[in-house]
């Protein structure tokens, strides 16, 4: 018998309760023991919910109840969620989370605490919603040296970009739709400024490369600077604008990790990933490219990943399998400036000025471009070289080309 407590009855927490109830017999059969929801902790009351009798307001009850084996943390944020996670682990309970902020900021310490208490700390739902990526990366691809990870890691921004590309919606109109559909974080800044994607690439890169990579070490640019003009220029050269989280192991062993909008070739499978879907390409030195694709946000897809971890924690009680990594440090990453790529630039400058600053630019065209606006793709170069060349121009948008 495994008894479960859910912390936070929001979108994901309520999805977890529903999946545990709807699929109860199937879950218990697979775990070879009943898995029962005992408590739901929230500051609010939910008198009309079918789970009203499980709602409590005092975490101390969960902490002190020896019957509770597994705590599901779906509160979010890195304050109270961190305190309750630490207290649950110290009380000898496994913790399952969808909280990418907490894992990205404090994963190493929490995993150490889980080891010290011989319980699990599992976080499959923290990246890619319902997409299995954490366990495949750690276990199924274990024989590989991972060379690179490149992913569309945020459903809200992918939805916004898709609506801009497909329907010509403005950024603001598309954001409103994403919020109405429940995809965006409570504060959409985390989505549109790239912080959510940053946390997710931190988790993937820490797992793949074995050292904790903190969000503050990852240069991050969101999509607020992407305009319909950029979308049109990208389209004119057969490309789509996508927000990518990337982690690259260079030949000298150094690691580059960053988040930024990119122009992705229409033939690349990532270009076909639309709406709220996420996709992650992992390049292993034995497998080559492996791609993971699915719903990266939403109540039931995310709950599916959480409940699978609950089942894993129940199955491995007393002999947990650790999905952890080593400590961080200032030497873990190097800035992406050294990474060469072609660049897309939209500037207020004449074609002549651009030809003077750049060797062999490839000019782009769009209908309705105002006089004086010029867009082009550069030859592959570092950011340092790009910035030198742009010094005499007035760039409006600058994105890497994948």
Annotated catalytic residues are 200
Interaction of residue 277 with ligand HSE, rule CB under 6 A: no
Q: Which of 71, 232, 260, 297 binds ligand HSE (CB under 6 A)?
A: 297
Task: Please report, for residues 172, 183, 210, the alpha-carbon distance to residue 176 in angstroms, rounded to integers and kept in the order given.
Answer: 6, 10, 38
| Binding letters toward ligand HSE, positions 188-217, x by CB under 6 A | ---x----x---------------------
Cα 349 to chain center, whole Å? 36
Cα 277 to chain center, whole Å? 12
Choose the stretch contacting ligand HSE; rule: CB under 6 A; options: 40-48, 107-115, 165-173, 178-186. Answer: 178-186
| Binding letters toward ligand HSE, positions 136-175, x by CB under 6 A | ------------------xxx-------------------
Neighbour-count burial of 222, counting CB atoms closer than 10 A to its CB (0-12 exposed, 13-18 middle, 19+ buried): buried
Q: Return the number of the residue (11 or 374) whose C-beta is nearest ligand HSE.
A: 11
- The token duo for 28 is 């218990």
| CB of residue 125 to ligand HSE, shortest distance in Å | 8
Beta bridge partners of 375: 346, 364
Task: Return the ∠ at Cα 156 (arms to 307 and 140), rounded to 5°.
Answer: 45
Q: Which of 39, 84, 121, 183 binds ligand HSE (CB under 6 A)?
A: 183
Q: Which residues contact 250 (CB under 8 A, 6 or more apart)?
A: 256, 334, 338
What is the Cα–Cα distance from 69 to 126, expressed in whole angstroms?
Answer: 21
| CB of residue 12 to ligand HSE, shortest distance in Å | 9
Choose the stretch contacting ligand HSE; rule: CB under 6 A; options: 79-87, 181-189, 241-249, 369-377. Answer: 181-189
Q: Return the number of the residue (231 or 243) whose C-beta is nearest ligand HSE.
A: 243
Q: 286, 104, 114: which is closest to 207 by C-alpha?
A: 104
| CB of residue 191 to ligand HSE, shortest distance in Å | 5
Q: Which of 245, 261, 296, 320 binds ligand HSE (CB under 6 A)?
A: 296
Q: Return the number of the residue (178 or 389) whose C-beta is nearest ligand HSE.
A: 178
Q: How many residues contact ligand HSE, by CB under 6 A?
A: 11
| CB of residue 174 to ligand HSE, shortest distance in Å | 13
Q: Return the number of the residue (86 or 185) whose C-beta is nearest ligand HSE.
A: 185
Interaction of residue 104 with ligand HSE, rule CB under 6 A: no
What is the Cα–Cα distance from 259 to 277, expressed in whole angstroms?
Answer: 17
What is the DSSP code string of 1-31? -EEEEEE--SHHHHHHHHHHHHTHHHHHHHH
| CB of residue 379 to ligand HSE, shortest distance in Å | 34
Q: Are 397 and 346 in contact (CB under 8 A)?
A: yes
What is the Cα–Cα distance from 355 to 23, expressed in whole angstroms?
Answer: 63
Going 313 to 296 to 200 to 303, the CA torsion angle's sign is negative
Q: Phi first, then psi: what are they for 257, rounded to 5°?
A: -135, 130
Q: Are 121 and 331 in contact (CB under 8 A)?
A: no
Choose the stretch contacting ligand HSE; rule: CB under 6 A; options: 20-28, 116-124, 184-192, 285-293. Answer: 184-192
Q: Are 239 and 377 in contact (CB under 8 A)?
A: no
Q: Return the number of the residue (222 or 284) whose C-beta is nearest ligand HSE.
A: 222
Task: Please report, for residues 345, 353, 384, the alpha-carbon distance to residue 356 in angstroms, rounded to integers and kept in the order given.
Answer: 15, 5, 17
| CB of residue 72 to ligand HSE, shortest distance in Å | 16
Q: Which of 63, 185, 265, 373 binds ligand HSE (CB under 6 A)?
A: 185
Interacting residues with ligand HSE between 324 and 383 (CB under 6 A): none
| CB of residue 187 to ligand HSE, shortest distance in Å | 10
Interaction of residue 184 with ligand HSE, rule CB under 6 A: yes
Q: Are 288 and 309 in contact (CB under 8 A)?
A: no
| CB of residue 317 to ligand HSE, shortest distance in Å | 28
Q: Return the number of the residue (69 or 101) whose C-beta is nearest ligand HSE.
A: 101
Task: Please report, for residues 14, 25, 162, 221, the alpha-carbon distance to residue 225 in angstroms, rounded to integers and kept in the order given.
Answer: 35, 49, 15, 9
**Can you give the binding site for ligand HSE, defined by CB under 6 A?**
129, 154-156, 183-185, 191, 196, 296-297
């Amino acid at each position: 018998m495994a008894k479960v407590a859910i912390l936070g009855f929001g979108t994901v927490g309520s999805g977890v309760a529903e999946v545990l109830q709807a699929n109860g017999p199937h879950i218990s059969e697979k775990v070879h023991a009943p898995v029962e929801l005992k408590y739901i902790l929230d500051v609010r009351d939910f008198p009309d919910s079918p789970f009203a009798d499980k709602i409590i307001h005092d975490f101390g009850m969960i902490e002190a109840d020896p019957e509770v084996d597994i705590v599901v943390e779906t509160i979010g944020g890195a304050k109270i969620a961190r305190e309750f996670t630490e207290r649950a682990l110290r009380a000898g309970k496994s913790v399952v989370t969808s909280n990418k902020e907490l894992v990205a900021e404090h994963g190493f310490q929490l995993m150490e605490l889980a080891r010290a208490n011989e319980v699990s700390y599992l976080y499959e739902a923290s990246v890619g919603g319902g997409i299995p990526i954490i366990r495949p990366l750690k276990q199924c691809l274990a024989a590989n040296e991972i060379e690179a990870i490149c992913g569309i890691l945020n459903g809200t921004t992918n939805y916004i970009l898709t609506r801009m590309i497909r329907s010509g919606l403005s950024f603001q109109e598309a954001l409103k739709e994403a919020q109405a559909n429940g995809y965006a974080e409570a504060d959409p800044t985390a989505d549109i400024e790239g912080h959510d994607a940053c946390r997710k690439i931190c988790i993937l890169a820490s797992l793949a490369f074995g050292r904790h990579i903190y969000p503050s070490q990852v240069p991050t640019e969101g999509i607020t600077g992407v305009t319909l003009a950029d979308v049109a220029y990208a389209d004119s050269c057969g490309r789509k604008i996508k927000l990518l989280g990337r982690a690259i192991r260079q030949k000298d062993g150094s690691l580059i990790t960053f988040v930024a909008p990119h122009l992705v070739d229409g033939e690349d499978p990532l270009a076909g990933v639309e709406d709220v879907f996420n996709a992650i390409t992992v390049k292993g030195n034995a497998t080559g490219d492996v791609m993971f694709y699915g719903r990266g946000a939403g109540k039931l897809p995310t709950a599916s990943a959480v409940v699978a971890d609950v089942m894993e924690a129940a199955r491995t009680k007393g002999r947990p399998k650790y999905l952890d990594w080593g400590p961080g440090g200032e030497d873990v990453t190097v800035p992406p400036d050294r990474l060469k790529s072609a660049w897309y630039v939209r500037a207020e400058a004449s074609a002549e000025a651009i030809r003077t600053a750049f060797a062999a630019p490839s000019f782009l065209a769009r209908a309705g471009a105002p006089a004086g606006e010029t867009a082009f793709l550069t030859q592959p170069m570092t950011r340092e070289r790009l910035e030198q060349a742009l010094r005499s121009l007035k760039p409006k948008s600058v994105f890497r080309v994948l």
